[in-house]
Amino acid sequence: MSEIKIVNLRKQFGDFVAVEDSSFTVEDGEFLALLGPSGCGKTTTLRMIAGLELPTSGKIYLDGEDVTFNRASARDIAFVFQLFALYPHMNVFRNIGFPLLSQGVAKAEIRARVEETAKLLRIDHILGRSVSGLAGGDRQRVALGRAIVRRPKCFLMDEPLGTLDAEFREVMVHELRELHNRIHATTVYVTHDQHEAMAMADKIAVMNHGVIEQYGTPQEIYNRPASMYVADFIGSPPMNFMRFNSGLKRGTRSIFLDGVEVAVPEMGEDVAPGEMALGVRPEHIRFSDRSPIRGAVYGSEYLGTNQIVAVETAAGIVKARVSADRSFRLGETVGLEFSSAKLAVFDCASGRAIASSPNAETRHG
């Protein structure tokens, strides 16, 4: 088991920059989710860590050793491919045992370790089967088996649940996390699905256009998004943005939305006047008739335990997650109140979150 550290990693294909100066560290035994939309450079990053692609610049360290230009076969890393890449001409047993064969492990030990791995993944009953007839979930498990049988330094997984149907994906999310809890292998897990990332990862790196926008725990990413992009990408429905024009002074504890003062966490920096956005998660909105922030109900979506109500305000449409008890008429005027401590302020031009003090919350309602 080991630590993966990448420093200023960059990859260009011709003129196109697929991965831009990325840096992060995955600590020993940690599960990192590399999260971002399709085409943002997740696979490319993973392939560079694996040694399948050489970086244009930057360094990759495994356990402190610089492996940037080592061959893939010399890195002791396991990779689960998006489409699994199970060898079609080998049965399940031989697929799982294939990595051991390259290490010259004795036949008897290969058998023992393949069987042990298969038991762990509950596929010991299909060892003799051909891989071409397997169902999606079993193919997935065989691919995992081939990865873990060798007890590599770390695991790289490229959207391994992408091809499974929704129901089964849920099951596999739990299985994968459980497996991780048991073997504590350092893992980089690529996905475009925020739910998978949130449910499994210790840390998440959110990527966009080759840039890592934010790196942190799921809680940090969710509660304190570093950019409008992250705020918008995580959460469903995503964070609301209410636009306003203003400058900010360090230490400010309120902003004006359309003339209405809204308490926010204490601002940590000065910002020149320009277009700004107040970021509000749907669950941090309450309806209150006394609130001066008014809007008209635009639509609602009933979700059982709660409902999403869309409200048209002067600053745009805002979605609120509120209790399902109350029903709303379309066009009904409502007042909105925010949990001030949870608000975020963004600079629209750069998309960056304005530094703010999370401790400010105690002084605000």
Partner 1 sequence: MSSTNTTAHSVVEPTPTVKRIAGAIVILYALVTMVPLAWIFLTSIKSPPDSISYPPKIVFTPTLEGFCNLFTTRTRQTPDYIQSLPAPTGTCDEITRSRNMVIAGPSNYWPRFGNSLVIAFGSTFLAVSLGTLAAYGFSRFRVPLADDLLFFILSTRMMPPIAVAIPIYLMYRQFGLSDTALGMILLYTAVNVSLAVWLLKGFIDEIPREYEEAAMIDGYTRLQAFWKVVLPQATTGIAATAIFCLIFAWNEYAFAVLLTSGSAQTAPPFIPTIIGEGGQDWPAVAAGTAIFLVPILVFTIVLRKQLLRGITFGAVRK
Q: Find which of partner 1, ligand ADP, Mg ion, none residue 305 binds, CB within 5 to 8 Å per kind.
A: none
Interface with Mg ion (CB under 5 A), residue from 22, 43, 300, 356: 43
Q: Measured between alpha carbons, how far is 291 from 329 in angstroms, rounded to an integer? A: 19
> With contact defined as beta carbons under 8 Å apart, do 142 and 86 qualify?
yes
Provide φ and ψ at 177, rounded to 5°. -65, -40
Residue 340 touches Mg ion, criterion: CB under 5 A: no
Site for ligand ADP in 8-37 (CB under 6 A): 13, 16, 18, 36
Q: Measured between alpha carbons, how far is 294 from 309 in angstroms, rounded to an integer? A: 14
Q: Which amino acid is at 191?
A: T
Stretch that binds partner 1, among 84-92, 202-210, 272-280, 326-334 (CB under 8 A): 84-92
CA dihedral 156, 159, 164, 167 (to 10 degrees): 100
Q: Which residue is nearest to ligand ADP (CB)?
A: 43
Nearer residue to partner 1 within complex by CB, 98 or 328 = 98
Residue 91 touches Mg ion, criterion: CB under 5 A: no
Stretch that binds partner 1, among 28-36, 78-86, 181-189, 351-359 (CB under 8 A): 78-86
Beta strands in 228-343 (DSSP E): 240-248, 254-257, 260-263, 266-267, 271-280, 285-287, 293-302, 306-313, 316-323, 333-338
Residue 40 touches ligand ADP, criterion: CB under 6 A: yes
CA dihedral 266, 270, 272, 273 (to 10 degrees): 20
Tokens of 128: 């003799």
Nearer residue to partner 1 within complex by CB, 82 or 254 = 82
Residue 77 touches partner 1, criterion: CB under 8 A: yes
Nearer residue to partner 1 within complex by CB, 89 or 249 = 89
Tokens of 255: 């902003």
Site for ligand ADP in 43-82 (CB under 6 A): 43-44
* Cβ density class 229-242: b for 16+ within 10 Å, e for less: bbbbbbbebbbbbb
Interface with partner 1 (CB under 8 A), residue from 18, 48, 62, 78: 78
Helical H segments across the chain, by residue range: 42-50, 92-102, 107-120, 136-148, 166-183, 194-200, 218-223, 228-233
Tokens of 112: 């023992």
Nearer residue to partner 1 within complex by CB, 38 or 73 = 73
Mark 55-74 with x for binding to partner 1 (rule: CB under 8 A) and - for no binding. ----------------xxx-
Q: Give the nearest distance from C-beta 353 to ligand ADP in angstroms.
A: 23
Q: Find which of Mg ion, ligand ADP, partner 1, none residue 309 binds, CB within 5 to 8 Å per kind.
A: none
Nearer residue to Mg ion within complex by CB, 233 or 346 = 233
Residue 160 touches ligand ADP, criterion: CB under 6 A: no
User: Which chain residues interact with ligand ADP by CB under 6 A?
Assistant: 13, 16, 18, 36, 38-44
